[in-house]
Amino acid sequence: MGATWVYAEVTPDGVHPSALELLTKARSLGGDVAAVALGPGATDAAGDLGAHGATIVYTSDDQTFADQPGRPAAHTLHSLIGQHMPSLILFPGTYEGRDVAGCLQALTGSTLMANATDVESAQRARAEIFGGTKIVEVDLAGPEPRLVLVRPKSFGAEPAGGTAEIVAVDAVTPPGPTATIVERHAEPASGPKLGEANVVIAGGRGLGGPEPFAMLADLAAAIGGAAVGASRAAVDAGWVPYAYQVGQTGKTVKPQVYIAAGISGALQHVVGMKGAKRIVAINKDADAPILKIADLGVVGDLFQIVPALTEEVRRRTSS
């Protein structure tokens, strides 16, 4: 097949880890592999991208890409596509990936598949539906390149030890109106990052309000290296910030242990955490769907169990 490209999202913290996962997959498909990295810091990321399988990295460090979400990147990609005609472009399933791929689809008229969990070729990809209980094989047709958004953490990132040729590109200024970022606000986060923690303790609607999240934080501190997460219901209710959200809309996590407290187990949530090595669910409702996927399901009152567990963990770790 023709070349596979990876859209390597550049964030203020560097290249998004999904780029390395997607490159690892791309090099298994056969054909040439290139990455496109746009925004301040893009050129610095080229070494990592090359080590993971990109033989060419198209880069621009232009500030426009950071200031205007979606459109400048899509129009620049469109220009590059016209010159090099790749067969397939893989995007991370992030907000930025969706914006760029969505806009690009309007320009190319090519197919755009979202939520892919595996990619076979430019003609075939795979997705999980209904909370991962069914796998759908999707045939992709229409003009190339085919565009596929892949769920983060679908593949492991493995370096191949190569070096990429860096090709500097010019930012294409999109015609017409574009939204512009005028302020950035980071919400303070403490403890390990949700996506990287060994243990995730997540709270849902069953917590009943923002205060009981302190109880989850106590347990996380007792365990050490644990992060606190939340279901969409708890985030929508305003109890914790969006950064806590685990699920289809939020983060995908694959910790050693996932403890779901007061989370019913909506499909939305399950797709973000079912990859955890071990799942513990605490729920007062014996019929909660989360108990069906838990390795250890506890039917009981989380307001008694969580503090008691914190004590038990402290007792064991202090001896």
Partner 1 sequence: MNVTVLAKFVPNPTGTPALGPDNLLIRDAGDGALDPGDEYGLELALQLVEAGGGEVTVVSMGPAEALAAVQRGLAMGAHRGVLVTDAALRGADVLVTARVLAAAVARTEHDLVIAGVESTDGYTGTMPATLAELLGVAAVTAVRKLEPDGDGFRAERQTESGYDVLTAPRPALITVTAGATDPRYPSLKGIMAAKSKPVETLSVADLGVADATPTQTVAGVTDAAAKAGGEIVTGEDAVVRIADLLADAKVI
Footprint of partner 1 on 228-257 (CB under 8 A): 232, 235-238, 241-243, 248-249, 251, 256-257
Residue burial 72-89, b: 16+ Cβ < 10 Å; e: rest: bbbbbbbebbeebebbbb
Name which position in 181, 190, 287, 319 contacts partner 1 (CB under 8 A): 181
**CA 168-119-150 angle, 5° bins:** 65
Measured distance CA(316)–CA(224) in Å, rounded = 13
Name which position in 85, 136, 160, 168 contacts partner 1 (CB under 8 A): 136
Measured distance CA(261)–CA(136) in Å, rounded = 30
Footprint of partner 1 on 261-290 (CB under 8 A): 268, 274, 277-280, 282, 286
Name which position in 85, 137, 173, 196 contacts partner 1 (CB under 8 A): 137
Q: Which stretch binds partner 1 (CB under 8 A): 22-30, 43-51, 79-87, 295-303?
A: 295-303
Footprint of partner 1 on 42-101 (CB under 8 A): 69-71, 74, 94-95, 98-101
Footprint of partner 1 on 190-229 (CB under 8 A): 198-199, 223-226
Measured distance CA(148)–CA(36) in Å, rounded = 15
Task: Burial-class residue 127 by CB neighbours within 10 Å (0-12, 13-18, 19+).
Answer: buried
Q: Work out whether 141 is an interface residue with partner 1 (CB under 8 A).
A: yes
Name which position in 83, 161, 170, 180 contacts partner 1 (CB under 8 A): 180
C-alpha pair distances (Å), 300 with each of 16, 94, 212: 39, 36, 16
End-to-end CA distance of the chain: 59
CA 92 to chain centre: 7
Would you say 216 or 294 has its CB closer to partner 1?
294
The distance of closest approach from Cβ of residue 254 to partner 1 in the complex, given in angstroms and rounded to an integer, is: 13
Would you say 167 or 298 has its CB closer to partner 1?
298
Q: Work out whether 189 is an interface residue with partner 1 (CB under 8 A).
A: yes
Q: Which stretch binds partner 1 (CB under 8 A): 19-27, 163-171, 172-180, 206-214?
A: 172-180
Total of chain residues touching partner 1, rule CB under 8 A: 97
Q: Which stretch binds partner 1 (CB under 8 A): 19-27, 163-171, 173-181, 203-211?
A: 173-181
C-alpha pair distances (Å), 22 with each of 155, 196, 225: 7, 18, 27
